[in-house]
Chains A and B, each alone.
Chain A
C-alpha cells in the first residue's frame, strides 16, 4: 500500500524533522561544551595542585635551612622562621586536600604525602627541641637523623609530589589539545547547520512538488467548470487537496444535474417561458408554446410578440409591457392571444424586465378555462343573487348569538321595514315574544333563542312575527333554520315564509269542511230517513217496482253518507286532527262490537263470521279501532264467495297484539298490495260501483292504526284469499309492570 500523507502531516514533518535534528545537534553541542568546561576546571586545579605541591616541597626545604641556621646560630630569628614555616605546612596540606577532590589515585597519594609530611614535621620539631635544650649532640644526632629522615622524606615527598603533580601536568599538557577540540566543535557546528538546511530544503522541495501540481489541476478544473467542460480526473492522494478535488467533482456533478433539471423544467413546463427582446421580438421560447399557441419555438423566435395579441387587447398589452419595463419587479397582465389555428386563448403574463439583458422575461399561463370558470361562477352568483333578491321567502343570516347580519328584499317586505332597520337587531325584536320579553336583556334573548333554535333548526317551526313599523300587528310565519359555515364562522340561515294567507285559507277550509259536514248531513238525514221509512214499510206497503227504486235510492244515500264521513276523516287525518280518545280496553269488546256492526252485512253476502276469543287488553281509541275492524270485515265480506268464511284471529306476540282478518276471496295481485293503502285505490276500477265503498277506507284504517303507534298490512296471493292485519301495542300486565319497577328499584 502506498504510504499517503495528509497536507497537515507533511507540514508537521517539514517543521519537525529539522527541529529534531537541531535538538539532537544542540544536545551534543552542550555535552561537548560541558566537557570542555570540565577540562578547563581540571587544568586550573592541576596548576594549583602543582603550585601547592611545590610550596610544600619548598616549605620543607626552607624548614631544613632554618633548622640548620638555628642549630648553628641559635638565633631566635631562625627559630621564629622555622616555626612560621612549620605552621604553614598544615595549611598547605589542607589546601592540597581540597584541590585533590574526588580523584582516588591522588587521594591515595595525598594520604601518603600527609603521613610523610607529618613524620618530617615531628622530626623537625624534635630537632628544634634538641637545639633549644642545647643538647647539641642530641640535636646534631637528631639533626642528622632528621637530616637523613628529612632527606629520605624529602625524596619520598619529591616522589609523592611528583606522583601528585604528574596527573595534573598531563592535564596541563592537554591545553594544546584543547585548541584542536574547539576547532572540531566549529566544524561540527558548520556541518550540522548545513545538514539541517539540506534536510529542510529537501523536504520543502519534495512536498511542494506534490502540492503545487495538484493545485494547478484544481485551478484548471475551476476554469473547466466555468466553461462547462469536462473536469480532469480526480487528483491522487488522500490529503485535503484530494478531498477538495473530490468535493469539487461532486459539486460539478450536482451543478450539472441542477442545470439539467432546470432545462427539463423549462422545456417541460406547462407554462410558456420566454424572453422578448427590446424590439418586442421573441428571443427564446420554451417548447410549451406548441401546446399554448400551436407554434414551435422556432416559428416564434424572431416574431413580434404583439402579432399574437388580439387587436382589442393590443393597446392594453403595450401599456402593460411599458409598465413592466418601468417596474423593477415582476408584473402581471392578461390578454387574449391567437393560436396558430386562429382560435383565442386567454393568457396571464408574469413579466420581468432585465436592464442588463435588455430583455423581458415572461411566463405565459393559459387561463382560458379559469376565465370561463370565473365567468360561470359570476353568472351563477348573479343567478343566485337574482333568486335570493326576488324570492318570496325571506332570508335572514343570523349569528349564533341571534343577531341579524344580512337580509334579502323579501325579509324587508315581510317585516315591513328597510334592510337597515333589520341589520344588527336581535331576532327577538322580530317576534311577538318581544312584547313580554326584554330585548335588551341577555337572559331573555338567550331564552328566546333556545326556543327559536329548538323549534326551527333543520325543521319548520311556526312563530308569530310582528311588523316592525307597527309592533301590534302579529302575523304567522314559518321558519326553517339551517346551519352553515363561512370561513370557519358558524352562521344560521333563516328561511321565513309569511303564512298569513295560508293560515287564513286553512281557517276557511276548516270552516268550509264543518259547514259542508253539517249542510250535507242535514239534508242527507232527511233523505235517508225518508227512504228508510219507505223501504221498511212504515208508511204502508209499497208496490215491488217502487220498493226496488226506493232501495236503490236508500243504498246510494247511505253510500254518499259514507263517502262524506270518509272524506271528513281523511281531512282530519291529514291535518293530524283526527280525534282520538285513548283508553285501556279489552280487545274482545272491540271484536264483539265490530261483529255486531257487520253481522247483517255478512248475512246479506252469505258469509260466515268466525271470531277469535281473547283476554288481551289494549290502550286504544275503542270507537276508532271498531271503525278499522269493521272496515276490514266489510271488505272481507264483500269480496268473499257465498258460503265462505271470514275469520278474525288474534295473535299474541311480545309487546304487541296482532288482529288478522282472513277471507277466502279472490286475493290481491302483488302489484296492488302497496297501492291498497293509498287514496281512491281499488283493485278493479269497477269495484267501487259493484261492491260499493269509496276507496278511502283502508287509508283511514292506516291513519288510525299509525296513530296508535301500530302497523297495518296485507298478506295475499291471487286466487287464495287475503289476510289483512294490524298490530298495536298491548298493555303490560300489572305483574309485568311490577317486574319492571322492581328491576328499576
Chain B
C-alpha cells in the first residue's frame, strides 16, 4: 500500500514516514505543500493521502477540495493529520470529504494500524 504524506513540517513528515514504512511496512511518498501533494497524488496515484491541516499558502481543507475535484485524484481516500483534537473539528473535517482523522501527536507504533482501520471502516 502506498501512502502520500502531505505536511509542511519536515520533522513530522519524517517521523510519520518512518513510522509507516519502518513499523508498518508501507510505501511512503512525501510532499511538503498542498500544491506539491496534489501534483504527486495525480502522478503517483497513492492508495491513501495523509494530509496535514495547518499549512501555509494552501491549507489542508483547500488541498482536500482540490484533490476531490481533480479527476485524477478524487478517488483517493484522504485522512487528515491534525493537531486540532476537538470532536467538532473532526466532524467538520469529515464533512469536508475526508475519510478519517488522525490526531497529532500520534503513536508511531499505532499509526499504520490506525490508517488501515480508517480505510476499512
Residues of A at the B interface (CB closer than 8 Å) are 514, 517-518, 521-526, 528-530, 532-533, 536, 538-539, 561, 565, 568, 572, 579-581, 621, 623
Would you give the shortest CB distance from B107 to chain A, in whole angstroms? 7
Q: Which residue of B83, B85, B109 has the most chain A CB atoms within 10 A of its CB atom?
A: B83
CA distance A621 to B104 in the complex (A): 21
Query: In the bound complex, do residue B88 and residue A521 qualify as a contact, i.e. CB atoms below 8 Å apart?
Result: no
Query: In the bound complex, do residue B83 and residue A522 qualify as a contact, i.e. CB atoms below 8 Å apart?
Result: yes
Q: A522-B83, A528-B108, A538-B19 are in contact. List 14 more A-B contacts (CB 8 A).
A: A517-B84, A521-B83, A521-B104, A521-B105, A522-B12, A529-B16, A530-B11, A538-B22, A538-B23, A561-B105, A565-B85, A572-B86, A581-B88, A621-B87
**Given contacts A518-B54, A579-B88, are A525 and B15 in contact (CB under 8 A)?**
yes
CA distance A623 to B90 in the complex (A): 12
Q: Tell me how many residues of B have a C-beta within 8 Å of chain A.
A: 25
Q: List 17 A-B contacts (CB under 8 A).
A: A517-B83, A522-B12, A524-B105, A528-B107, A530-B15, A532-B19, A533-B15, A533-B23, A536-B23, A538-B19, A539-B18, A572-B86, A579-B87, A580-B87, A581-B91, A621-B87, A623-B87
**Given contacts A532-B109, A565-B85, are A526 and B11 in contact (CB under 8 A)?**
yes
Residues in A with CB closer than 8 Å to B83 are: 517-518, 521-522, 525
**Given contacts A533-B19, A538-B18, A538-B23, are A526 and B9 in contact (CB under 8 A)?**
yes
Query: In the bound complex, do residue B107 and residue A532 qualify as a contact, i.e. CB atoms below 8 Å apart?
Result: yes
Residues in A with CB closer than 8 Å to B23 are: 533, 536, 538
- Residues of B10-34 contacting chain A, CB below 8 A: 11-12, 14-16, 18-19, 22-23
CA distance A579 to B89 in the complex (A): 9
Would you give the shortest CB distance from B80 to chain A, in whole angstroms? 13
Taking chain B's interface residues, is the majority helix, strand, or loop, or is none over half, making it mixed?
A: helix
CA distance A538 to B24 in the complex (A): 10
Would you give the shortest CB distance from A455 to chain B, in whole angstroms? 26
**Given contacts A529-B106, A581-B87, A623-B87, are A523 and B11 in contact (CB under 8 A)?**
yes
Residues of B at the A interface (CB closer than 8 Å) are 9, 11-12, 14-16, 18-19, 22-23, 54, 83-89, 91, 104-109
What is the chain B residue whose CB lies nearest that of A521?
A: B83
CA distance A528 to B16 in the complex (A): 11
Q: Which of B12, B22, B85 contacts A525 (CB 8 A)?
A: B12
What is the chain A residue whose CB lies nearest that of B52?
A: A522
Would you give the shortest CB distance from A725 to chain B, in whole angstroms? 25
CA distance A348 to B16 in the complex (A): 94
Q: Which 3 A-B pairs give the minimum distances between C-beta atoms?
A: A529-B15, A526-B11, A525-B105
CA distance A521 to B106 in the complex (A): 10
**Given contacts A532-B109, A565-B85, are A522 and B15 in contact (CB under 8 A)?**
no
Residues in A with CB closer than 8 Å to B89 are: 579
Would you give the shortest CB distance from B113 to chain A, in whole angstroms? 13
CA distance A517 to B93 in the complex (A): 18
CA distance A621 to B12 in the complex (A): 30
Query: In the bound complex, do residue A522 and residue B104 qualify as a contact, i.e. CB atoms below 8 Å apart?
Result: yes
Residues in B with CB closer than 8 Å to A518 are: 54, 83-84
Query: In the bound complex, do residue A533 and residue B84 qualify as a contact, i.e. CB atoms below 8 Å apart?
Result: no
**Given contacts A526-B9, A581-B91, are A533 and B85 in contact (CB under 8 A)?**
no
Residues in B with CB closer than 8 Å to A580 are: 87
Query: In the bound complex, do residue A526 and residue B109 qualify as a contact, i.e. CB atoms below 8 Å apart?
Result: no
CA distance A506 to B109 in the complex (A): 38
CA distance A526 to B8 in the complex (A): 13
